[in-house]
């Protein structure tokens, strides 16, 4: 469970490696990584997979049931011509609204601001940062010293200019991350995407000489997961050729690849099943020890985990398949997603357990519960240091930090210190591999700009960076409310509004929701929504519906598969509560969601069209009859169910938007957005929904970014344009203009 460093730099522990194997990018929240300086360009994301052969070719008989199947041909001339035609209409309407240009330019200025906090990763004695602004739209990998970083205006050394690289190679490269060799940090594996999709090329880079290594490790474009074992060896899962991908499109085989040999000569470490999601491997460094871990990802929340010996032999970590495990300071740390009865004792789902790793491998099960869940409390993450663990607990979506230490295999706990409020506090290690007690602390609040501080366990942190206020929050305040869902469940939500707001039902309001994959929606400074909405007098609502992780695995599992309607009932309950409290009214209430949240929007459109005045539905899942056949869909069946099974389809059919939209119903005006280059959620979902609604005579808009991946945009210019479209559309429909 080594957090920010493991996720973004060295692969870290087994738990992080497992999550990376799932390509579940939103797990960054749970990993206690730095808060973003401005709100992200898109909603939380799901896993991804390569683009399959267009379904029209694979299953011609399906066309009889779905006349818009041709729109699943992602790059086909006919489907792209259709998308461009819709783009022209949407642009023609929305960009002519008086506030559009001002909103777009304001958002672009925020995204490009040189006053954003540059979050850094320490490698050796240097601090690395990835930076984008107006002059560097694709971004720079750069570095500086700690002394410089502490300055208001640090001097940075450019390590790699993605814009210059793109120009030199005549490619539209989008930086997709890197993993660097510990502890020397003199080699990195850099991932580059064409246009922003999840498929990448991986190339070995020398950060000292600041150049790619001509004969270094390099993989062709694919959904590749690569991690260092040592300077001359990497673990790699990729498309090795026929039958090497799972049904979900991920690497079925992970191999050990030696320097100087061909990729085809790499030695197989593990082969997952065709029906699994995939396989992964990584080396973890901790307190001077190394561990090589292998993971078979069976389904989205189920896996088998192994430790790999020097002889290549795999020893299974005997824990429940839906649990996660890592090693810190010779202790195994296990997170549970279901109750686990072992040696006559039942440990509750959501718990974090610890015990000596050697004892565990020897068969003992004498755990200490480092985090005990409750109906209002969940584990938000942990951070690992030389002398202690910092456990981040979430109680009614408020952070509480505790320091755990172990001596002679006995654990003790004390408060970290600090004030808990309606904001987020994250702590993560400055150094990797348990070599120091230095930590970064990020504080984020709905209304107060982010800060980042540097500290040492037991001491007082020093604030190094404070983000400027990107919008005027004077007169605004934050409240937490609870709505009662259809089954009586208490569902929280946050409200950002004017303190002196009169409750008369007239206020243009945006309600945002996600509700899936155990992703928690937590407080944070949202510069874009602040500038584009709340500063102008609009109300912003953040929903914490079931399906998320705000109250741990139980909160997520309450909306799984056949219980999915619970998440939708929660969202409806919040909307009705806002109306009952006279914050807003149906014609003034707009809703926004993307990816799984886009599915939520589609369900709201078809189930409760009377409740909303406008909807923005971004990169959505909508055709739940075919979602498992499109891109990453097969990997999400644990979340939604298998439409090919009659008992599962019986539940899915009740809410699948594409099958439930009808002619003759009055629907709220809706803007659907997607990306051609999205290789996570297929753009065919949104395309087909729009085509069907237009055929039925409904007034809807559609905009498809021709690049940008699941984020919907590949650079700040595109992000600003897409977000301005959405906020301007909502402002027009809800009367904020």
Query: Which pTM value belongs to this model?
Result: 0.87
- The position carrying tokens 């190339």 is 203
> What separation, in Å, do the N-terminal and C-terminal C-alpha atoms of the chain show?
47
**Cβ atoms of residues 385 and 437 within 8 Å:** yes
Q: Which long-range contacts (CB under 8 A, 24 or more apart) does 391-396 make?
A: 391/352, 392/32, 392/425, 392/426, 392/427, 394/520, 394/522, 394/550, 396/480, 396/492
Cα gap 239→251, rounded to integer Å: 6
Please, which pLDDT band fits residue 419 given cuts at 50, 70 and 90? low
- Asked if 28 and 58 touch (Cβ cutoff 8 Å), the reply is no
Q: Give the three-class secondary structure for 278.
A: strand
Q: What confidence tier does 417 reach under pLDDT thresholds 50, 70, 90?
A: confident
Q: What percent of the chain has pLDDT over 70?
A: 90
**Contact status, residue 518 vs residue 489, Cβ threshold 8 Å:** no
pLDDT of the residue at 56: 31
Output the DSSP codes for 126-148: EEEEEE--SS-SS-EEEEE-HHH
pLDDT at 25 over 70: no
Q: How confident is the model at residue 546 (pLDDT cuts 50, 70, 90)?
A: very high
pLDDT given for residue 631 in this prediction: 83
pLDDT score recorded for residue 706: 82
Q: Decide if 428 contacts 461 (C-beta within 8 A).
A: no
pLDDT in tens, 289-331: 999 999 999 998 999 999 999 999 999 999 999 999 999 999 9
Indicate if the pLDDT at residue 127 is higher than 90.
Answer: yes
- pLDDT at residue 19, rounded to an integer: 31
Residues 81-100, buried b or exposed e (16+ Cβ, 10 A)? ebbeebbeebeebbeebebb
pLDDT (0 to 100) of residue 248? 86
pLDDT at position 46, please? 30
Position 579 scores a pLDDT of 98
Tokens at 190, concatenated:
């850099």
pLDDT of residue 678: 78
Report the alpha-carbon distance of residue 231 to residue 186 in Å, rounded.
9
Three-state DSSP string of 53-69: CCHHHHCHHHHHCCCCH
Bridge partners (DSSP) of residue 128 are 121, 143
Average pLDDT estimate for 562-574: 98
Kindly name the residue from 15, 556, 628, 710 that is annotated as catalytic: 710
Q: Model confidence over 473-525: pLDDT tens digits?
A: 999 999 999 999 999 999 999 999 999 999 999 999 999 999 999 999 999 99
In the chain, what percentage of residues exceed pLDDT 90?
85
pLDDT in tens, 38-50: 222 222 223 222 2
pLDDT tens for 448-478 read 999 999 999 999 999 999 999 999 999 999 9
Beta bridge partners of 289: 286
Distance between CA atoms of residues 179 and 226, nearest Å: 8
- 15 catalytic? Reply is no
Instruction: Tell whether the model's pLDDT for residue 12 goes beyond 80.
Output: no
345 bridge partner residues: 342
pLDDT at res. 17 = 31
Is 595 a catalytic site residue? Answer: yes
What are the tens digits of pLDDT across the range 620-635?
999 999 999 998 888 8
Distance of alpha carbon 586 from alpha carbon 607, whole angstroms: 14
In contact, 351 and 362? CB cutoff 8 Å: no
Cα–Cα distance, 670 to 687 (Å, whole number): 13
Q: Assign 225 a pLDDT band (cuts: 50, 70, 90).
A: very high
Q: Is the predicted pLDDT of residue 55 greater than 50, yes or no?
A: no
Q: Cα–Cα distance between 134 and 154 in angstroms, integer?
A: 18
Catalytic residue among 595, 635, 656, 675: 595
pLDDT tens, residue by residue, 639-689: 999 999 999 999 999 999 999 999 999 999 999 999 998 777 899 999 999
User: 83-108+471-734 belongs to which CATH class?
Assistant: alpha beta
């Amino acid at each position: 469970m080594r957090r920010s460093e493991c996720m973004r730099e060295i692969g870290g522990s087994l738990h992080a490696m497992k999550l990376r194997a799932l390509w579940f990018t939103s797990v960054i929240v749970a990993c206690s990584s730095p808060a973003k300086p401005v709100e992200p360009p898109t909603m939380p994301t799901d896993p991804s997979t390569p683009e399959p052969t267009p379904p029209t070719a694979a299953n011609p008989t399906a066309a009889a049931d779905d006349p818009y199947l041709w729109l699943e041909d992602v790059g086909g001339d006919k489907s792209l011509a259709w998308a461009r035609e819709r783009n022209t209409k949407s642009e023609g309407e929305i960009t002519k609204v008086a506030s559009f240009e001002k909103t777009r330019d304001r958002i672009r200025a925020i995204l490009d601001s040189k006053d954003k906090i540059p979050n850094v990763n320490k490698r050796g004695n240097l601090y690395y940062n990835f930076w984008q602004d107006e002059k560097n739209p694709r971004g720079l990998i750069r570095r500086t010293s700690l002394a410089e970083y502490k300055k208001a205006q640090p001097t940075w050394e450019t390590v790699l200019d993605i814009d210059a690289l793109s120009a030199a190679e005549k490619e539209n490269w989008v930086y997709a991350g890197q993993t660097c060799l510990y502890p020397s940090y003199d080699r990195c594996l850099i991932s580059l995407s064409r246009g922003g999709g999840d498929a990448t090329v991986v190339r070995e880079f020398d950060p000292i000489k600041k150049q790619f290594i001509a004969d270094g490790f390099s993989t062709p474009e694919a959904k590749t997961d690569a991690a260092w074992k040592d300077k001359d060896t990497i673990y790699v899962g990729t498309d090795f050729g026929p039958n090497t991908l799972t049904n979900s499109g991920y690497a079925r085989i992970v191999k050990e690849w030696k320097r100087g040999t061909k990729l085809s000569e790499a030695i197989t470490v593990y082969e997952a099943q065709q029906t699994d999601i995939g396989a992964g491997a990584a080396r973890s460094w901790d307190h001077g020890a190394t561990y090589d871990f292998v993971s078979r990802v069976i389904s989205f929340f189920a896996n088998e985990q192994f430790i790999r010996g020097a002889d290549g032999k795999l020893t299974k970590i005997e824990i429940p398949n839906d649990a996660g495990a890592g090693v810190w300071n010779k202790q195994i740390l296990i997170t549970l997603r279901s109750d686990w009865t072992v040696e006559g004792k039942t440990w509750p789902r959501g718990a974090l357990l610890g015990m000596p790793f050697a004892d565990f491998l020897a068969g003992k099960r004498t755990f200490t519960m480092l985090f005990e869940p409750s109906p209002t409390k969940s584990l938000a993450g942990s951070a690992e240091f030389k002398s202690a663990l910092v456990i981040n607990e979430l109680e009614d979506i408020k952070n509480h930090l505790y320091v755990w230490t172990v001596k002679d295999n006995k654990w003790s706990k004390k408060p970290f210190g600090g004030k808990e409020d309606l904001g987020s506090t994250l702590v993560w290690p400055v150094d990797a591999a348990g070599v120091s007690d230095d930590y970064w602390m990020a504080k984020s609040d709905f209304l107060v700009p982010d800060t980042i501080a540097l500290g040492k366990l037991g001491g007082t942190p020093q604030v190094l960076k404070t983000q400027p206020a990107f919008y005027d929050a004077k007169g605004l305040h934050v409240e937490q409310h609870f709505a009662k869902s259809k089954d009586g469940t208490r569902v929280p939500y946050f409200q950002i509004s004017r303190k002196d707001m009169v409750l008369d039902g007239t206020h243009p309001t945006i309600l945002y929701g996600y509700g899936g994959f155990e992703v928690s929606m937590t407080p944070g400074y949202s510069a874009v929504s602040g500038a584009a909405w709340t500063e102008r007098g609009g109300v912003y609502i953040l929903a914490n519906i079931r399906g998320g992780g705000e109250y741990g695995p139980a909160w997520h599992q309450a909306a799984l598969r056949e219980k999915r309607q619970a998440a939708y009932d929660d969202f409806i309950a919040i909307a009705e509560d806002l109306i009952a409290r006279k914050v807003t009214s149906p014609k003034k209430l707009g809703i926004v969601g993307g990816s799984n949240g886009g599915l939520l929007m589609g369900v709201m459109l078809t189930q409760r069209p009377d409740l909303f005045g406008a909807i923005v539905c971004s990169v959505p899942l909508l055709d739940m009859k075919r979602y498992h056949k499109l891109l990453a869909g097969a990997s999400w069946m644990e979340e939604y169910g298998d439409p090919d099974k009659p008992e599962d389809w019986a539940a899915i059919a009740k809410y699948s938007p594409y099958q439930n939209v009808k002619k003759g119903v009055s629907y709220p005006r809706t803007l659907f957005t997607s990306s051609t280059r999205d290789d996570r959620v297929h753009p065919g979902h949104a395309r087909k929904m729009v085509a069907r609604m237009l055929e039925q005579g409904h007034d809807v808009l559609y905009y498809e970014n021709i690049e940008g991946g699941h984020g919907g945009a590949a650079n700040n210019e595109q992000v600003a344009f897409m977000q301005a479209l959405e906020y301007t559309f909502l402002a027009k429909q809800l009367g904020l203009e």
